[in-house]
Structure 1
Amino acid sequence: MVSKVELGTSSRCLWDHGTMMARNACVGVLLATVVWFCASATAAPTSAQRKDLAAARKTLTRASGLIRRKKLEDAEKLIKEAEAAIKKVIDAAKLKRTDRSVAGLLRFLSIQKRQLALRQGKKPMASGKPVSFIKDVAPILVAKCLQCHGTRAAGKLRLDTFAGLSRGGRSGAVVRPGNPKASLLALRVAAPNAQVRMPKNAAPLSRAQFDSIAGWIAQGAKFDGGNADTSLKQLMSAAGKGKKTKKSKKATTVKVVKATGKEKVSFVKQVAPTLTTLCAGCHGGRNSRGGFSVNTFETVLQGSDSGRVVLPGNLEASLIWRRVAALDKDNQKMPPGNRRITREFYNSLKTWIQEGAKFDGESATVTLRSLVPTDEQMRAAELAKLTPEEFNDLRETRTDELWDRVSKDDRPRFVKSAEFFVYGDVTAARLQQVALWAEDHGKRLRSMFGEKSGQLFKGKLAVIVFKERFGYTEWNQVIHNRETPRAMTGHSVVSPSFEDAYVVLQDVGDVVSATAPGLRLQLVDHVTGAFLKRKGGRLPQWVIRGTGLSLAAQADSGNEHIAGMRAAAIDSLQGLTKPEDLFADGTFSPAQIGAVGYTLVAFMTKAGGNNRFVRFVGNLQKGTGVAASIKAVYAPTDLKRLAAAYVQSLSGKKKR
């Protein structure tokens, strides 16, 4: 037994040993392959080499200061020292000059060398080849400078014509023929400080572009274009540069891919709002910086003077993402200055590009501002997704929030009915009575306006009743930030999204007189107002108040308060020189508008019938004006004739 066990164990060990040798051999081959691959690939700078590059940048910064102080010999030594250090790292790490770790530093080195050459008075061009303004310099100015120095004339400097270049700007002449180091144009494009360097908020000019400008100035800044007042673009076109421009435009033709609705990010709702608020200042209008415009979705895809800015599906190659995410250390982060994007936009932009940069608007050629929904519209879209039960819960929550703002220490009572949520500091019995009145009036509204099914109000209508004047005035002060006129004892609010839909009342009691309407009439008046506000449109106060009081009169024909409104309306019309003015808001005070509105609505329904008046109100809710609505519904009667007939009906005189 023992020998068998030992034999079995020995065999197992031999097998494991052989397996391990084979495995190690495979691992060895793999490691050798990896070592060979790594040796043949470009290595990244080591920690020590990165420190050397950082030291070289500091050296160049010191050189920049010496150049400004005109200590040119010392600056030249530092520049050579930094250049040698950079070259040493590039050679040791086998880096390409376009590698991210050194590309920005090499550009900084080039700027310092150019600046030093200018200060030393050296000719920028090694050869004596003549430089043409139209062929060599004008294209640079058109591509790099006209965004700010075209029609905008930043600093009162225009570079869209040779005459403008010659005049200079607020700081004086920008070109000193024969002297590049005294020419502001050359100094600004070669400035080491990004805040001073031109073009602003863009990559510096290439060495070849700088040499063209400085060389042209050194050769006398001669003009070879004919008429100095002709635009540079026209001169370039005449010189044969127009075809090149057309080709570049053709290359920026883009294909707009419509969204399917399954995307995680909406361009219109989550990307466009930030583009219009943070980016349009520099990249909007006719002279967008760098040729990149966020005016429309199409211009966003067309890109900039440097090429495409958004490459659908290719995040790393999309310049807008690289600038927003600050992936390129040698380029300025966007947006510039102290403006910052939100984390939400950062993630939305990233996902939108990854999903193919699709468009979910109606037209890619209309302005983004016209596509971007307002906060109210976005909130309305969210609320539109709620079920009736969720909206009812929202109404209760929202009413609680408003009450707490006004009277947090006094907890209210509430009663729920089919259409209303009645809430207040009066007794439970009073709330129940108000709920019954409201339901009864709701049926009357349905009958008059043909509302046969569904809730009258999304999430029900909240009716808030205060037992004292103080509570009602506090509501107006806290919620609406307004004083409460003496005659005002109730009002209604319905927001376009229905997030708020309520009537607020002061319990004025049940005693009715010529001056006291009673709580029920107040309720009917303002519930009707809320009902009419549901569908939007700007309804005049006389329509809102008049319709409510007219329905209240039907419910209580013997109401003493309503019976006195005819006389009150006649008094209110005293001094009215133009009868048609009675249709305009602001003609009558809050104390007068009820009587005028009631008698005017009563006249219109009596003269034209209930159906016509409902059509008239419908036109107003669609946004049609009063005069046009009267003409459409009561033709051939127009606004003036209707006003005159109404005034005559009150006076009791018949028209002869």
Structure 2
Amino acid sequence: MLVTMIQVVSKGISIVSKWNVRRPALRVFAAVTLLAGTALVSFSGGIAPAVGQETNPRTVAKPLDARSRTIVQSVDRQVKRAGAAYAGGDYETSGDALRKAIKQIEVAGNAESSDLHDALLPMMRRIVNARAMLELEGVTLPPFRIPERPKATTEPMAESSSDPSGQPSTDGVSFVSEVAPILVDKCGSCHIRGSKGGFAMPTFAKLMEGPPEGVVVFPGDVIASRLIETIETGDMPRGGGKVSKEQLDTLKQWVTQGAKFDGPDPTAMLTSLKSGEATPDTPATPEPDQPTMVGKPTGNETVSFSKDVAPLLVENCTGCHLDAMQTRGGLRMDTLAQMLRGGDSGSVMKPGDGEASLLVQKLRGSAGDRMPAGGRPPLSDNDIQLISTWISEGAKVDEALVQTPMKVVTAQAWLSAAASSEVSQRRAEIAEDEFRLAGADVNRLQNHQSDHFAVWGEVSPATLETVAESAEAALQQARKFLPKADGSPEDFFHGKASIYVLPKRYDYSEFAKMVEGRSVPAEWQSHWKYDGIRAYVAVVASERASEEEIAGRVVAPVASLAVVSRGEGVPRWFAQGLGTAISGGESKRDRNANMRRQAELVTAVGSLKSGKDFLNGKLPPERADRMAVAIAESLLSRQNRRGFAAVLRNPQSGQPFPQAFQAGMNMTPIAYVDAWLQWVK
């Protein structure tokens, strides 16, 4: 592999006064130093380690353990935050971020891990330079010197000392009576009864497992615990109801004391712990050893679970058994798998005999109180008969739907039966709801319609029209690479796709926080989302933005949206990578941005153990996206072109993506990514 590495070395530069430091060119240099380091790496067919990373050709660095990876990501995040604040002239915020990074490095030093030291070394060098620049701006910072490299370690840093399966602890802060109530009260709507940002923590076990990005609670280590950091910085919780100082102190003490669990069952719902249903003296009701099993549909059934039964359950059981803070009778029905496990009274279904099933008897009122409760009207006889018939016919359902949330099953069923015009109308309603949630004045919301898109925003009609024209041009370019699609323009996305235009970067960031429940990377100016019903691109486009700027921001997400909508189950990594590759989205970026992305690719590849980690979302968004582009580019190579065409063609004809990929490339997606990783390493 040919690798070209250019080092920018600053020698003999003397800063005479603060006036010199404030010169725009030097400030930009300092910010770039913080954000990207002093290594400029370009690639030609390969991947090179970033400058400053200690390497030894005779040894291969061991992958970092989960705790070390979290520390590296946290330090990197603070250093980037410091750079962004410095570039904007906010030196105090920059200093605060740098102080946190220094504290986190001190924690890392206690581990005496040579591998962790090597991973942090480039950031530590940037901190030294940044500290000097900030002190010239009058910011007081703690002393910092790069520590000596520890001797090579043979064991990874200690993982969580909290054993969810061990005996309950009664020492220190109580998780059941003190911590769980705080989490339910402050985090319940987003992460306990929901999974905003891909993170759900309905139980202690899930909390300690953390989101796909990594562990958020490290027993004994407050600094490394992302849960504490996001609360301290004010990033969480969102939408009101901030954590008080006393509550934060309680959480910190719990983490410092080892993040111990003092309940009987770490898999019990936190909501039941809070309400006292599962305390150390009241064991949680065990799940049946063998939940009710269901079979696959034969095609001869008269009632469909997804089209007939799931919508009835979602409409009538939400609040008590679906999306319930406290489930009634121990029966959860967020998924069919949960419903099959039954509740306090055992199984609620007897496949093959609907009328003998407790679910049907409860709906008819022949077995105790009639359901639904709470003053809701009873189901009609026809609706109850539908459920009974489905059970009598064997309660058949496609295996993929057993673990799928019933609300998603219902939405997908509606989507498959709806006309494109109906979907367009639904997306218009969603657009208004989501702008309202993001704090926009919907009375000032403008709308522009084009062949394939409905463009929304609190900007001028001229700006909306420019965005629409850019999106149509981007789609036209993307369609050259995609199989031909029949039908009208409105049918391409099964209803017009939405484009949300946000006039300022702040508005864009707030939209992501309030609507999607996540923070987007600082450099993002646009992104896309698709779940069938929702199909949109969110983009920053002010009145002053040029046509070229707008086109550059919408081209890749529009292409990705076109790819993901070509078939059922097309994964995000594939759509993101291919959309960016075929749109030329990477080449349109400036040189510095492309070099940062190359560095992200180096880091991403080095942090993965296998292709499975990548496909399961173990990387931060910006690194995952960069790696997805590199994989897509390899798929587009001449030797893979024929098989790749089949991968694109088969999902559109109804074949699930994993089978379509294997049929086209003669290997599974995991096997392909594993092979690609071996090649680039």
TM norm structure 2: 0.42
| Larger helix share, 1 or 2 | 1
Which has the higher Rg, Structure 1 or Structure 2?
Answer: 1
With a CA cutoff of 8 Å and minimum separation of 6, indicate the structure with the bigger relative contact order: 2
